[in-house]
Amino acid sequence: MGAIARAAANNITTSGVFTSSAIANSSVTGITVLANASDGITLISSQTASNSASLSFTSGITSTYKAYKFVFSKIHARTDGALFQFNLSTDSGSNYNVTKTTTFFQAYHDEGDTFASLDYRTDCDLAQSTGFQRLNNSGGDVSDENIAGSLTLFNPASTTYVKHFIATTIENHSSNYPNNVFVAGYGNTTSACNAIQFKMDSGNMDGTIYLYGIK
């Protein structure tokens, strides 16, 4: 029996549980190769809006990762009822006008427990449109109201396939109820998408957006 096996065996109780002495924090001497922690999800960059018109990511979206995830934290509308939205670019942010076809549905429940629903919103989806896609229904501008969620963009560097995306957000609706929005679709282009912009349809916003790469 080798030294490592003997050490492990000596630190197992009769119930098959490792004792505290089996684990040392000071060093890992028996392992010669460690897996690369960045092989999973890697933070690439983040941007913070402070009464800003928009946030644009014009770098970091390359062929390095097969998927990119944008995480929204404390996105606050400065205008009551504003729509948080996004668009893609194939020219590094000179234009945000990729043709998109999308779906949009939502679930909501008011604070007074008087109404709740799950519905598809045909007025919120896009059909071969170059316009911005909304990611919420109606953002409240009260000081404690905000939007949180994420958007995942798949294979943006592909020059063969369209660019699928899936997003979900939770917001404090301007009429004071939680509203969970689900959006999915694709950018109908075989050109590589290398930039993305987020903004409100009216007024400015606060909050932080994190960009992660997923292998």
Q: Where are the beta strands (DSSP E) in 32-135?
A: 41-52, 54-57, 67-77, 84-89, 100-109, 116-120, 133-134
Q: What is the pLDDT of residue 111?
A: 87
Question: Which is higher by pLDDT, 203 or 142?
Answer: 203
Mean pLDDT, range 150-174, rounded to an integer: 96
Segment 92-103, tens digit of pLDDT: 999 999 999 999
pLDDT band at 36 (very low <50, low <70, confident <90, very high): low
Highest mean predicted confidence (pLDDT) among 6-10, 110-114, 124-128: 124-128
Mean pLDDT, range 137-148, rounded to an integer: 88
Cα–Cα distance for residue pair 72/149, rounded to 1 Å: 5
The CATH class given to the 35-214 domain equals mainly beta
pLDDT band at 140 (very low <50, low <70, confident <90, very high): confident
Q: What is the pLDDT of residue 141?
A: 82
Segment 8-29, tens digit of pLDDT: 556 666 556 656 555 555 554 5
pLDDT band at 138 (very low <50, low <70, confident <90, very high): confident
- Inter-CA distances, 41 with 127, 154, 206, Å: 32, 14, 25
Cα–Cα distance for residue pair 119/171, rounded to 1 Å: 16
Q: What is the pLDDT of residue 174?
A: 79
Question: Edge-to-edge strand order for the sheet containing 67-77?
Answer: 41-52, 205-214, 67-77, 147-154, 163-172, 178-187, 100-109, 116-120
Three-state secondary-structure class, residue 8: helix
Mean pLDDT, range 70-87, rounded to an integer: 96
pLDDT band at 5 (very low <50, low <70, confident <90, very high): low
Mean pLDDT, range 95-117, rounded to an integer: 94
Q: What is the pLDDT of residue 172?
A: 85
Cα–Cα distance for residue pair 106/5, rounded to 1 Å: 55
pLDDT band at 70 (very low <50, low <70, confident <90, very high): very high
Give the contacts of 33 (CB within 8 A, at least 6 positions apart). Answer: none
- For the chain, give the percent of residues with pLDDT over 70: 82
Vertex 159, ends 153 and 135: CA angle to 5°? Answer: 25
Contact 88, 159 (CB under 8 A): no
Question: Edge-to-edge strand order for the sheet containing 195-200?
Answer: 54-57, 195-200, 84-89, 133-134
Which residues face 88 on adjacent strands?
A: 196
